[in-house]
Amino acid sequence: MSRKALAGIALLLTTIVAAPANAADPPAPAWQGFYFGGHVGGALTRTTFSDPDNLDGIFGGNVASPGFLAGLQLGYNWRVAPKWLVGVEAEGSILSSQGHNTCLQSSITFVGSDCKTLPREMASFTGRVGYLADPDSRLLVYGKAGLAWMRSQVEIDPNNLSAFDRFPLTGDPLVEGAPTNQMVSAWGWTIGAGIEYALTPRWSLDAGYQYMRFNLGTVPTPETVDVSAAGNVTGVPGGGASSVSQDVHVARVGLNYHFGSLSKAADSYGTPSSAEVPWTPGWEFEGGARYWYSSGSLTSANGSQMSLVSRLPYNHLEGHSGELFARLDAPFNAFIKGFVGLGGIVNGTMYDEDWALPNTLAAEPSGYEITQSDVNGTMNYLTVDVGYDVLRGRDHKVGLFVGYNRYHTVLNTLGCAQLVSPGSGVCYPTIANNVNAITETDTWNSLRLGVAADVELAKRLKLGIDLAYLPYVHVESLDEHKLRSLNFPTNGTGNGVQAEILLSYALTDAFNVGVGGRYWSMWTANGYLTDSSSYVMLETQRYGVFVQGSYRFGTP
């Protein structure tokens, strides 16, 4: 997704909320009529590539592509009963998203491929059914279902075929098939649910989840090479066709403007709430502590943009961390917020994949090799945001912000076991699990552009949402292979997404407790070894649940 497109959507969201920010709490809206708005969110696309020969893969096969989305929606509601609405909605989004994984690797005797997906655009056309769940008819709980459309870029690149330039026995040159790189689109279906809360008589905040399913058809697979146990090329299997399907999970927050007349709030379905004393904002401060239980992953792959040599996926990185957080709001609607955290990674697994490594039994390269190691480590992180509330009332805040995030991890791999090619390979004999074989140190620095919203759904019960697009991410990485005294420093730039949702309850007017969830994902679009031109792809994710307690000072 281009930065110009994201800037345009951000400008639209800023423009449509240019309404009085500090009005008294409004009467309940009628909800019936047209509405229009913008949304931002996070998406996780899981793409499955089938093997042309219907074989099970040794590793990989599914590609997860996390991303950020932004778009517009248009809909119409009919109020069919005092508490019930039905409606239709159309929405479209553009995405910044990327993911890759090993695929078509069903045997160690040939060279598999790297599958990459880059979702670009999506749309949905749904019917909605909603229920007004509170006495003032300000909280709408809805479900929706209908048609969906997706367009994605799909790539299948054979790994390190350059190591096999000729048949060793005959000297004849190999004929390599071209990699797959094409744009595919498809129609599918979708189902979802969410809540929409009336902030004013015309503005509502919408937060929801949506699942989409697509069958993208078939794409051609490139040719590869068969390799004997001695490392000799025995054949060049022809390219086939892979069936590609996608599952998409979307979480988003939107702001809608309703065109219905305010007089409709007093129709036969209800009467407007009584006028309240005007509310004037003052200084507010909230601070507290948080515990975050999380899991995560990191993938480092190198070679060239069209052909990988090695790939190190770190999976199931279980972490525990503690945080301090705070937010300060000014009477003129500006705010500053942030948190700092420190923790440990207590366990995980690292797989080291290599294609066409020199074989220990012969001088020729082997087809595929994979090893496994345990992982532990440490992490620390920091976020600071400065923003402005474009809508603010006694029971709600909706603001835009710009900020900075730093995320630092140190991952230590312990031991090493050969998963394929028993009796040979880089981890034969097995390395004991008290030996530190590899240390991976990564520092991610990111620019954040986002939306923060707080809404009081019921007395003392508040929903908080924080969603940020990372238009610029810079990572410095050092991969230390300690047993071989090899270091691989890397620099890269890319994008990312960070999201957080919190449900909190005020035990007193000042003291709050809450539980929430958080998701981070960052990836490089351009990355290279610092001391060479070798291409590197880095991707990281961290996600989990947290509990917190906080104390609040300021205007009620």
What does the pLDDT look like over 57-113, one tens digit per residue? Answer: 788 789 999 999 999 999 999 989 989 999 999 999 999 999 999 998 888 888 888
Q: What share of the chain is helix, strand, coil (3-state, %, to 5)?
A: 5, 70, 25
Residue 529: the pLDDT is 86
Model pLDDT for residues 234-251, shown as the tens digit of each residue: 666 767 888 999 999 999
Residue 339: the pLDDT is 98
Q: Say whether both 80 and 19 belong to one domain.
A: yes
Please report, as a single letter, which amino acid is at residue 120. R
Q: Say whether both 65 and 121 belong to one domain.
A: yes
Rounded to whole angstroms, the Cα distance separating 55 from 61 reads 11
User: Domain for residue 372, yes or no?
Assistant: no
Q: Say whether both 330 and 238 belong to one domain.
A: no
With beta carbons less than 8 A apart as the criterion, state whether 139 and 457 touch. Answer: yes
**Total domains, the chain:** 2
Rounded to whole angstroms, the Cα distance separating 455 from 451 reads 13
Residue 360: the pLDDT is 52
Residue ranges of the chain whose pLDDT lies below 70: 1-29, 164-177, 228-232, 234-236, 238, 261-277, 358-365, 422-424, 556
Q: Say whether both 103 and 248 belong to one domain.
A: yes
User: Domain for residue 76, yes or no?
Assistant: yes
Identify the CATH number of the domain in which residue 505 sits.
2.40.128.90
Chain centroid to CA 348: how far? 20
Q: Say whether both 37 and 168 belong to one domain.
A: yes
Q: Please, what is the Cα angle at 516 between 200 and 375, to 5 degrees?
A: 150
197: closest CA among 205, 209, 208? 205
Q: Which region, left, alpha or beta, applies to residue 133 given φ > 0 means left and ψ of -120 to 50 means alpha?
A: alpha
Residue 28: the pLDDT is 45
Q: Whole-model pTM?
A: 0.89
The DSSP output letter for 9 is: H
User: Domain for residue 312, yes or no?
Assistant: no
Residue 14: the pLDDT is 41
Residue 196: the pLDDT is 94
With beta carbons less than 8 A apart as the criterion, state whether 326 and 312 touch. Answer: no
Q: Say whether both 246 and 287 belong to one domain.
A: no
Of all residues in the chain, the percent with pLDDT exceeding 90 is: 61
Residue 396: the pLDDT is 92
Integer CA distances (angstroms), 308 to 116, 368, 506, in order: 12, 12, 53
Q: Say whether both 191 and 135 belong to one domain.
A: yes
User: Domain for residue 269, yes or no?
Assistant: no
User: Domain for residue 525, yes or no?
Assistant: yes
Q: Say whether both 6 and 50 belong to one domain.
A: yes
- Domain span at 49: 1-263
